[in-house]
Structure 1
Amino acid sequence: MMTTAESTYRSRAPWWFNIAGHLLEPWVRIRRDPAEPAGLLQGDAPVCYVIERDGFSDALILDRACREAGLPSPMQPLLHTRRKRSVFALARRDGWIFGRNRQRSPSEPLGQLIRSLEGFPERDIQIVPVSIYVGRAPSRESGWFSVLFAENWVVVGRFRRMLALLLNGRDTVVHFSAPVSLRSVMDEAGDIRPERFARKMARVLRTHFRRIRAAVIGPDLSHRRTVVDAVLNSEPVRAAITTTAAKEGISYAKAWERAYKMVMEIAADYSHPVVRSASFLLRNFWNKLYDGITMHHFDKARAAAPGYEVVYVPTHRSHADYLLMSYQLHASGVVVPHIAAGVNLNLPLIGPILRRGGAFFLRRSFKGNALYPVVFNEYMAQLIDRGVPMEYFIEGGRSRTGRLLAPRAGLLAMTVRAFLRAPRRPVLFQPVYIGYEKLMEGKSYIGELSGKPKEKESLIGLIRGLSVLRQRYGHVALNFGEPIELTPLLDAAAPDWRETTADPDAKPEWLNSVTNELAEKIQVNINRAADVNPINLLALALLATPKHAMAENDLLAQIELMKALLEELPYSDRVTLTPLDPPAIVAYGEQMGWITRVRHPLGDVLTVESEQAVLLSYFRNNVLHLTAAAAWVACCFLNNRRMSRASILRLGRIIYPFIQGELFLPWDSEGFGVQLQATVDFFVRRGLLEATGEGRVLERGPGQDDAAYQLKAIARSLIQAFERYYIAIAALVKNGPHTITAAELENVCTLTAQRLSLLSEPSAPEFFDKALFRGFIQKLRENRVVWTDEDGKLDYDAVLEDMVRDARVILAREMRHSILKITGKDSEKEALRAAEAEPAPAPTESTNTSEELHERHVKFEHHEHEHVSENQDKD
């Protein structure tokens, strides 16, 4: 049935044109962008469409798209002009539709329009650029052969265009740009002659069409040899070749050949047909592997991208990351980025496919070869200069623990320096959080965390690994975080950076600080876009119990509490939370095989098997940062029945820099304090804590109480971090100042944590991850709590001993004693006495009156050095 817009549509096209349109209609399915382009028009001024390339099929497609959208017909005469059609093309062949068989300059129709307005200031014409792409968007009907005729940068003949329509016509995109008021542009141009103005307008339109085409199908890189030649002919690379030849006593030609091999090893060989083929394959692959792939906040990311060199910086948790990103971007009509990949992935058969999909390869280390970093830097600079979107993982490798790894700023620094050298196009970093419900590499990660060497990538290993494809891996979420512009960071660091960075070899003093700040902001914004799926919530709840088991009612209550916490105290407006209710989450966990139901007459128990528990810790760590404030408040009541609100905030601010460094939290110290206050109020509203003394003192119920049980479950998600901190500071204090290096302290901490894990309940493998100890020691050094003396040994401030004593508020006596016993043997008693120099115990709970409690609280506020812990927990 004809729509209202179609019924009122008036076209004066020739009869044969209308017949051709009816014949073409079954072969073409049009997707308009935007879906309702009529809203773009301004007023009642006549509309003239301009298309990029002349063609009969493009005219038919445009006419139909305008008819379906309720827009004026391109085939009707243009009012107040001598033009018989309201459309013209910039790139023209011998005309079949828009005029007689003769060549015309693209500025000629523009000149006609301009002359039609001269002398009539009340007249105007809306020029609407329309881009038509046949075979851009992937669809289920696409086939292997169709890829060969997909839209690209090559101007094709009529026969090839006809094949493209037959094979890919159902994947046709018609992009309507905002109209340009010709009258307004003429008024702004002033007294420029009409012929010159028409040529200028044609250049502007050509640039516009190239920008839209680059955004939709990718930049015109031609063959990778053009990029390779540009790299080898650049001044920095030629100078490096000369230096290498002189230093090694070889000819320039031989050094050039070495540089050529390097850049050929690095460079991508992007092929649109290969990308289309991969898209066709991956669609079926994802359908067999995953139950769904969801993107959140992508529209915000797409809206922010135009005019920028976009660098995607996602989390790196699986080899599937870059395939998922590229597939989803391509399927959403965005250019597939060039992806930095380790040279270990340049395998036979696989490497060439990845290279044609946009991968460029880099060596794990640039050391020992002065020529390679220059070549690689120049290749990166060429990509940025050409406006090629990029993607790389600043963590340096896949996270084996589920946490964000400390960033490695090498590629970021190269990107910043490339921009400084030629700041023609501003750079935008787009953080992306990728959330899984099950990982293909899960079992190999367990082995690596347990000490097994990382298995080297190989084609045989890849074939062996295909067995994982028999499983289902649930849903995947790609959450786009808040983008980060590079220019404001540079302006803040060095307002005169544009004048001081003209030298391509310049490395300003502020470059490292800007790069480190950028890396930190990227990780923070990734965490601010987390997706909380059902598996994350199950992991937070079940791994908080010693045997990784919960009664069903307790599990449902804990999940409901966690969801309420995340909803009432949102971490960020970009965090997404599963819509499933607690019973549905439990059922989903059983369906996915993560949890097992044990039937019992007194109520079912949900449990996690030991190996599954280690795997599940990965998904708890994905979202650990979201509950950091709640976990800290809850930790304060693990061994204490009562604490003052002020004490919770004071100690929280002391510990915050270390939690922030480990979990990439977004607040400053004051902001964290505000978050703690809100969390305390939430716990009071939920009945988990009771506020007394006008809200200044907080109390939890006895240990057997449901509220205390829920608090304990929240606390245990973060308690291992505090145990690691205590291991480090206790080991350092016990050894004494000027006796141990940072590397030696790392080893002592790692061995202590491994030993503690064997002696106590099993811990997640990241408990003794050396990188986490290294990060904590680094934070101590940044905060000048610890520093290195002239001999490379560690010295420390007296505040470190205070931190050892403060740990009694959080950690149980047995745990503290176990750690102190393991960290050394020679001066064990002295260390115990120093660490356990605690104030006299408070009166027992039964003798406390509200007046005495308030009096002690007031006394504490006047003696900040004392620990407010009214009662050690005796439950």
Structure 2
Amino acid sequence: MTGAVALPFWLVALLVVFAAIGIVDRVFAPSVRWFFRRRFNQAIDELNQRLDMRIEPFRLTRRQTLVDRLIYDPKVVEAVDAEAKASGTPRAVVMKRAERYAREIVPAFSVTTYFGFGIRAARRLSEFVYRVRLGYVDDDALKAIDPQATVVFVMNHRSNMDYVLVTYMASSRASLSYAVGEWARVWLLQNLIRSMGAYFVRRNSGDELYRKVLGRYVAMATQEGVTQAVFPEGGLSRDGRLREPRLGLLSYMVAGFDPRASRDVVFVPVGLNYDRVIEDRVLTAGAEKEISGRDFRVRLPALAGFVWNLVRLRLQGRLYRFGYACVSFGKPVSLAHWQKREQVDFTTADREALFVGIEKLGDDLIEAIAAIVPALPVALASHVFLESGERWMSEFELKSAVFGLIERLEGEGAHVHIPRADRDYAVGAGLRMLTLRHMVVMNDEWLYRANPDERLLLTYYANSIAHLLK
């Protein structure tokens, strides 16, 4: 029993390593985890004190826990059973599909990624591309929102930069959870987007099971107080005008809402506008091909050259950037108050009555967004050039027409962003942007008119304020 046992050196070394791992895991790791968890909770508390809309525990829950909670939600289980029965597919197979959908949808929010990287990147990118300005905002109304309410920012959708710009502009108030389309589901990018708290949406999906899983996730997040940002239009505007509301995500948020038993939902209208939308040529390509036969396609070498030219001009200090980007925050709309005023019942079993109520809510939110979309220099100048037709104008005539348009808009209660509070400078900034892009041409007598070949693009920018002039 006391005899020596000979072991190979490599086996002894392996045993020592495993023993060390066991000691660290059982003795040291719990205290280290406790230390970092305590520091993490302190950081969250400090963030919540700084933010107007606190980060709810739901967003900090482990992703796997949220996935499990979603796939075993009674309504998802009911949908799985119904699908299995209707299609004759084994229940386990349908359940596996529901789990795949849940993993696709549920984000993996990281406070470090969002506040340590995301907001800094959003600020630098926004300010690299645009002169970013805050338009109208009612601070008192925003601060008066019930801290227990779920806040949903609803905004018009003009560019994929909307995600970046609003994340930056709202960074002092809240961390936002976006619904992102399938375009962003590419390697590495999708992991970054998930860690920013966004969830992926298959637009126009006809899969009933998928819609049920998505709907239950959105409903859970809303009930748990997650601050969200949605685009009621559903997709990017291709003609510059506000689109009719798409009611999918909105219906998931409000269906079953009972002010006596549910957390209130407060919608904050957000209006965005740009002097230049980065993807404007892409968005108007279909209409351009129908009108002129010109086919615009994005080619990787041309895109790389475009980006490099921007960087080069910025390093040389000769980059005008893309003009102004402006964000306005409107008066919050409490769902409980709206429901009481409109006499709508979101708990009704009558699907037609429920749809009518949701449609009315969507129309009202689009109207609230439309009212605060800021009018920017390029949109103002584009409107005037289109109205002038083929007539050549001096800069003085242009300024006179734009000043009249500004007074008309302000008389209607619209927000007009006038850079540096100088109308002359505003017209000059808009004219410079249009001439640099050859949307407006100038003759030898220093007179200007719309470029006939670019009337579609001028219309696209003028349409961003068309609803303010009705």
Global fold match (TM > 0.5): yes
Normalised TM-score (structure 2): 0.79
Structure 2 residue corresponding to 1:513, chosen from 353, 356, 360: 356
Q: Is the 8 A contact 2:285 2:296 kept in 1?
A: no
Partner of 2:183: 344
RMSD: 3.5
State the Cα deviation string for residues 737-763 of structure 1 (Å, max 9, x = none): xxxxxxxxxxxxxxxxxxxxxxxxxxx
What is the correspondence of 1:174-193 to structure 2 with a 5 Å cutoff?
175=49
Asked if 1:586 corresponds to 2:422, the answer is no
Partner of 1:606: 448
**1:798-817 correspondence runs (5 A):** none
Q: In the aligned structure 2, how far is the partner of 1:459 from the partner of 1:240?
A: 43
Structure 1 pair 429/454, CA: closer, same or farther in 2 (3 Å)?
farther
Q: Which amino acid aligns with 2:76?
A: V
Equivalent residue, structure 1, for 2:228: 390
Tell me by how many angstroms 1:565 deviates. Answer: 2.2
Match runs of 1:88-167 below 5 Å: 157=35
SS at match of 1:335: coil
Contact 1:479 1:529 in 2 (8 A): yes
Q: How does 1:30-429 map to 2 (within 5 A)?
A: 157=35, 175=49, 215-217=53-55, 219-221=57-59, 222-275=61-114, 276-297=116-137, 299-300=139-140, 302-305=142-145, 306-330=147-171, 332=172, 334-367=173-206, 369-417=207-255, 419-420=257-258, 423-429=261-267
| 1:529 and 2:378 matched | no
Amino acid aligned to 1:406: E
Contact 2:268 2:333 in 1 (8 A): yes
Q: 1:439 to 1:253 in 2, by over 3 A?
A: same
What amino acid is aligned across from residue 290 of structure 1 in structure 2?
Y
How big is the shift at 1:513?
1.6
Structure 1 residues without counterparts, runs of 5 or longer: 1-153, 176-211, 629-875
User: What is the distance in 2 between the residues matched to 1:384 and 1:297?
Assistant: 24
| CA offsets 1:698-735 (integer angstroms, 9 cap, x no match) | xxxxxxxxxxxxxxxxxxxxxxxxxxxxxxxxxxxxxx
Using the alignment, how far apart are the partners of 1:539 and 1:522 within structure 2? 27
1:322-358: CA deviation from partner (whole Å, max 9, x where unpaired): 111112212x2x2222111112321222111111112
Instruction: Indicate yes or no: 2:325 matched with 1:483.
Output: no
Distance 1:239 1:571, change over 3 A: same
CA distance in 2, matches of 1:234, 1:320: 35
In the aligned structure 2, how far is the partner of 1:421 from the partner of 1:527? 27
The aligned counterpart of 2:274 is 436
Counterpart Cα distance in 2 of 1:343 and 1:556 = 44
- Aligned residues of 2:245 and 2:363 also touching (Cα < 8 A): yes
- For residues 597 and 382 of structure 1, do their structure 2 counterparts lie closer, same or farther at Cα, with a shift above 3 Å needed? same
Deviations 1:485-517 (A, max 9, x none): 22233334547x48x55xxxx345421121111
Deviation at residue 214 of structure 1 after TM alignment: 8.8
Q: Give, in angstroms, the shift of residue 267 of structure 1.
A: 1.3
Q: 1:455 to 1:586 in 2, by over 3 A?
A: closer
Other-structure match for 1:617: 459
CA drift at 1:260: 0.2
Q: Does the CA-based 8 Å contact 2:150-2:227 persist in structure 1?
A: yes
Question: Which structure has greater helix proportion?
Answer: 2
Following superposition, the deviation at residue 556 of structure 1 comes to: 2.1
SS of the counterpart of 1:430?
A: strand
Residue 220 of structure 2 aligns to a residue whose secondary structure is helix
Q: 1:556 to 1:464 in 2, by over 3 A?
A: closer
List gaps (5 residues or longer) in structure 2.
Answer: 1-31, 312-318
Q: CA deviation at 1:295?
A: 4.4
Task: Give the deviation of 1:384 after TM superposition.
Answer: 1.1
Task: Report 1:825-864 matches (<5 A).
Answer: none
Residues in 2 aligned to 1:517 and 1:260: alpha-carbon distance in whole angstroms: 34
- Go from structure 1 to structure 2 and tell me whether the alpha carbon gap of 1:377 and 1:426 turns closer, same or farther (over 3 Å shift): same
Deviations 1:572-591 (A, max 9, x none): 5xx24415544323321343
Give the aligned partner of residue 393 of structure 2. 550
Q: Is the 8 A contact 1:590 1:597 kept in 2?
A: no
CA shift for structure 1 position 296? 2.8
Which residue of structure 2 lines up, in the alignment, with residue 638 of structure 1?
A: none
Deviation digits for residues 390-443 of structure 1 (CA, Å, limit 9, x no counterpart):
111111210011110111112211211153599421111111110101110121
SS at match of 2:268: strand
After the TM superposition, which residues 685-834 of structure 1 pair with which residues of structure 2 at under 5 Å, given as runs? Answer: none
Match of 2:20 in 1: none
SS at match of 1:478: strand
Offset from partner CA, 1:749-790 (integer Å, 9 cap, x none): xxxxxxxxxxxxxxxxxxxxxxxxxxxxxxxxxxxxxxxxxx
2:288 corresponds to: 450
Larger Rg: 1
Give 1:377 deviation, angstroms. 1.1
Change (3 A) 1:484 1:549: farther
Which consecutive aligned stretches of 4+ in structure 1 deviate over 6 angstroms post-superposition?
A: 452-465
Instruction: Write the letter of the residue equivalent to 1:439.
Output: V
Is the contact between residue 548 and residue 613 of structure 1 (CA under 8 Å) also seen in structure 2? no
Q: Which letter does structure 2 place at the counterpart of 1:303?
A: K
Whole-angstrom distance in 1 between the partners of 2:260 and 2:78: 19
Which residue identity is paired with 1:625?
H
In the TM superposition, residue 464 of structure 1 has moved relative to its aligned partner by 8.1
CA deviation vs aligned residue, 1:232-254 (integer Å, no higher than 9, x gap): 11111111112222333333222
Which whole-Å CA distance do the structure 2 matches of 1:379 and 1:581 have between them? 48
- Structure 2 distance, partners of 1:295, 1:563, is 15
In 2: Cα distance, 1:423 partner to 1:415 partner: 15
State the distance in 1 between where 2:300 and 2:74 align.
38
Deviation at 1:280, TM superposition (A): 2.2
The Cα offsets for residues 535-559 of structure 1, whole Å up to 9 and x where unpaired, read as: 1221121111222631233212212
In the alignment, residue 371 of structure 1 is paired with which amino acid? L
Partners in 1 of 2:158 and 2:118 — Cα distance?
21
Describe the superposition over 1:146-177 as per-residue Cα deviations: whole angstroms up to 9, x where unpaired: xxxxxxxx99639995x999xx9xxx7795xx
Counterpart residue type for residue 527 of structure 1: A
Check conservation: 1:413, 1:515, Cα contact below 8 A: yes
Q: What's 2:412 paired with? A: 570
Larger RCO (CA within 8 A; separation ≥ 6): 2
Say if 1:477 and 1:616 are closer, same or farther in 2 by CA, change over 3 A: same
| Structure 2 residue identity aligned to 1:571 | G
* Contact 2:271 2:372 (8 Å CA) reproduced: yes
Counterpart in the other structure of 1:42: none
Conserved in 1, the CA contact under 8 Å of 2:379 and 2:461? Answer: yes
Aligned-pair CA distance for 1:216: 4.0
Distance 1:320 1:465, change over 3 A: farther
Letter in 2 for 1:482: K
Q: 1:371 to 1:598 in 2, by over 3 A?
A: same
